[in-house]
Amino acid sequence: MENLLQQPIEYLKGVGPARAELLKKELNIFSFGDLLQHYPFRYIDRTKFATIKDIDSDEKYYQLKGIITSVKTIGDNRQKRLVATFKDATGVCELVWFKGVQWMEKSIQINQEYVVFGRPQLFNNRYNFPHPEIELVKEINADGVQSGLYPVYSTTEKLKFKGFSSKALAKIQKTLLQQLKPHDVVEILPPNLIAELKLMMRFDAIHNIHFPKNNAAQQQAERRLKFEELFLIQLRLLRTKIGRHQSTPGFVFEKIDNYFDNFYKKYLPFELTNAQKRVIREIRKDVLCGKQMNRLLQGDVGSGKTIVALMSMLMAVDNGFQACLMAPTEILAQQHFEGISSLVKELGINVAMLSGSSKTSERKFIQRELESGTINILIGTHALIEDTVQFKNLGLAVVDEQHKFGVQQRAALWRKNTTPPHILVMTATPIPRTLAMTLYGDLDSSVIDELPPGRKPIKTLHKFDSARLHLFGLIKEEIAKGRQVYVVYPLIEESEQLDLKDLMDGYESFAREFPLPNYRISIVHGRQEPEDKELEMQRFVKGETQIMVATTVIEVGVNVPNATMMVIESAERFGLSQLHQLRGRVGRGGSQSYCILMTGNKLGADARTRMKTMCSTNDGFVIAEVDLELRGPGDLEGLQQSGVMNLHIANLATDQRILQTARDKANELLEQDALLQKPEHQRLLQLIKNVELEKKVWGKIS
Ligand code: ADP
Ligand code: MG
């Protein structure tokens, strides 16, 4: 039925084998159907133009119409750039290309009218446009499109070089659309849903997304296609969730009268927050219902997830099961081990620790004790999931900082018992609601949205490198109060050598400013031997050193309540979520803590927004939302591997409302027809099954 859409792309008129190869390689377009799904990412609105004299901000995009009066190349071969002079009735500005210079130079037509679209930058007090999109006005007008909207497609330098500009893509789209018959694009959504939401039919939507009749039709087409895309994902996720609730049996933890109660009544070192109590109740309900728990626990840094993990593990132990806690780094595992051991030391529970650096004899001993059931709680790194580690009766597995682990690693935990253990995954990286819905849409979710009482909000300041003396002064004041200070340098793999040099230079400048014997400094980075790293870390933890100069290895884990100042060097090079994570290392004791963001004097618009956001809020969820807006979802950690993220048109940052509707409607539909047996749901079922075949692993595993 959908034969036309399955045709290989080389068969389309105007493509041919050579260009087809490029389309496959560069844009993943293999078939006619793939081409149709290569939607425009924006439109040239031929009715709306700004003028050069209107330009007043480097944070906005502008669309201009005017004439390119001259082009010249500047610089030598290594750093060549092309500068075009662009003029309209109100003024003159420059268009600049650093890449594809030769090709641009050849293709630009002097004294012809162009539409220019881009974001300007301020240089020598004048605005110019780096790498703008440009289109010849005569070509836009030549294609006979009636409405004001002309599609713009993303393409690549290589494609452009072979003549496949956005314009050329528009041309083959048009060729294809002219061949398309209604039966080639069958409707997949049930009629009542289309009626209820007043959605445009699929066939019309495909036409209007590429060549809109008018603005309203474009909006309707976009809404329809976004909804369809998100709806299918939600339907799939919810089916997995419902299926698991119905079919995966779980251990029942009925009793909490011994360890759990005892701990709660006698040894709990503080009153639980309401949020912690609520989450513990949610977990308890899960482990009582006879189905396997798969729960995501989100809570900002310092919100107290560990105690929730511990109390959940006690529920398992109370019922004769073992529990384990897996952390992403040795340091974090060690800290969990020490913290938890000391919390339960009066309970008579056996807690052990296993990591990559455990000695062979120790490892053997632990393995024996695990198999005999002597060990109740095992804490460790991913060493826990190795096949040699066998439990007598694992009932609950907790994964801390789950975004650091891959799907495969989490999957291994499922197999540690004949009935899969309950799974609790914890993350301190707050995820915007829409993202959580999509990324973890098949998990149940809990949130700790309250910090323990008595915490003073961390004060965050942004300083330029030129204010370094002031920074030193602030650090000295803090140390004089008996406090400790972190200084963190970025370490990005690609520029590791350079970064390491920065770190060493930084260390030396701190060593000069804070000399012995009054001051002592620890240094920690990824290139050190593990023992050295551990030793330096311990010196800081024990308070023997007052300053710790480090790379981001300290991002997760360390807990030093006496550390009250976090200095982040080259803060503009960090993403928002990483800045927030780093800041969470301080503010853990009762005293006022500070985070100081050091940056170069010149900052881009995004970097300014990041600094402003950090200075204005401590709320991880707000920060996550801004992060999502700035970066778009594509870059966020863990999203690629989720396999649900190959979105063609929907945008998780901006389409929250459509996503919510899609989830609600998917829920309603499954409530009426859980197995998708009704005739009007057959196309949906078929589509979902196709995707499920491809994503088999992901579908089943938390
Ligand atoms: P995270 O959620 O980042 O893992 P932790 O579990 O490490 O946070 O807790 C951070 C700190 O807060 C720890 O020192 C812990 O003992 C303390 N804490 C946790 N819950 C409470 C509470 N309800 N009242 C007071 N302090 C708490
Ligand atoms: Mg933690």
- Determine the average pLDDT of the residues in 440-460: 85
HSE-up (13 A, CA, CB side) for residue 531: 1
pLDDT band with cut points at 50, 70 and 90 for residue 497: confident
Residue 397 has pLDDT above 60, yes or no: yes
pLDDT band with cut points at 50, 70 and 90 for residue 403: low
Helix or strand run (H / E) with residue 313: helix 305-318
pLDDT band with cut points at 50, 70 and 90 for residue 113: very high
User: If you take atom 25 of ligand 1, which residue's CA is the nearest one?
Assistant: 452
- What is the assigned CATH class of domain 258-289+304-427? alpha beta
Q: Which residues contact 697 (CB under 8 A, 6 or more apart)?
A: 407, 408, 411
The Cα angle at residue 449 between residues 445 and 454, in degrees rounded to 5: 150
Question: What is the per-residue pLDDT for 51?
Answer: 94
Residue 76 has pLDDT above 70, yes or no: yes
User: If you take atom 27 of ligand 1, which residue's CA is the nearest one?
Assistant: 452
Q: Which ligand is nearest to the CA of 453?
A: 1
- Determine the average pLDDT of the residues in 675-684: 92
Residue 698 has pLDDT above 50, yes or no: no
With b meaning 16 or more CB within 10 Å and e meaning fewer, what string describes 280-291? bebbbebbeeeb
Helix (H, G, I), strand (E, B) or coil at 514: coil
Q: What is the distance between the alpha carbons of residues 271 and 258, in angstroms, rounded to a whole number?
A: 19
| Weakest-pLDDT range from 643-647, 663-667, 682-686 | 643-647
Average pLDDT, the chain: 88
HSE-up (13 A, CA, CB side) for residue 122: 11
With b meaning 16 or more CB within 10 Å and e meaning fewer, what string describes 476-496? eebbeeebbbbbbbbbeeeee
Q: Which of 263, 268, 306 to mutate to test the pocket of ligand 1 (most atoms within 8 A of CB)?
A: 306
User: If you take atom 5 of ligand 1, which residue's CA is the nearest one?
Assistant: 304
Q: Check: CB of residue 250 under 8 Å from CB of residue 287.
A: yes
Question: What is the per-residue pLDDT for 242?
Answer: 83
pLDDT band with cut points at 50, 70 and 90 for residue 1: very low
- Determine the average pLDDT of the residues in 97-108: 86
pTM of this prediction exceeds 0.85: no
Q: Which sequence spans correspond to the domains of the chain? A: 1-46+145-186, 54-142, 258-289+304-427, 459-617
Q: What is the distance between the alpha carbons of residues 42 and 29, in angstroms, rounded to a whole number?
A: 19
- What is the assigned CATH class of domain 54-142? mainly beta
Q: Would you call the peptide bond into 517 cis, given omega within 30 degrees of 0 as the criterion? A: yes
Burial degree of 106 (CB within 10 A; 0-12, 13-18, 19+): exposed
Residue type, 689: K
Same fold, 258-289+304-427 and 459-617: yes
pLDDT band with cut points at 50, 70 and 90 for residue 699: very low
The Å distance, Cα 400 to ligand 2 centre, comes to 7
pLDDT band with cut points at 50, 70 and 90 for residue 309: very high
The Å distance, Cα 279 to ligand 1 centre, comes to 14
- What is the assigned CATH class of domain 459-617? alpha beta
The Å distance, Cα 338 to ligand 1 centre, comes to 14
Q: How confident is the model over 229-255, as pLDDT tens digits? A: 999 989 988 888 888 777 788 999 999
Alpha helix ranges (H) inside 527-638: 530-541, 576-583, 605-616, 620-631
The Å distance, Cα 306 to ligand 2 centre, comes to 6
Ligand 1 binding site (Cβ under 6 Å of any ligand atom)? 270-273, 276, 299, 301-307, 428, 452, 559, 588
Residue 389 has pLDDT above 90, yes or no: yes
pLDDT band with cut points at 50, 70 and 90 for residue 116: very high
Q: Which ligand is nearest to the CA of 277?
A: 1
pLDDT band with cut points at 50, 70 and 90 for residue 424: very high
Q: Which ligand is nearest to the CA of 447?
A: 1
Q: Which ligand is nearest to the CA of 580?
A: 1
Question: What is the per-residue pLDDT for 694?
Answer: 56
Q: What is the distance between the alpha carbons of residues 579 and 615, in angstroms, rounded to a whole number?
A: 11
Q: Which two tokens stand for residue 400?
A: 């801390």
Question: What is the per-residue pLDDT for 641?
Answer: 44
Q: Which of 270, 296, 301, 458 to mutate to test the pocket of ligand 1 (most atoms within 8 A of CB)?
A: 270
The arrangement of strands across the sheet holding 81-88 comes to 121-123, 126-130, 91-97, 81-88, 62-74, 113-118, 133-136
The Å distance, Cα 261 to ligand 1 centre, comes to 20
Other Cβ atoms within 10 Å of 428 Cβ, number: 23
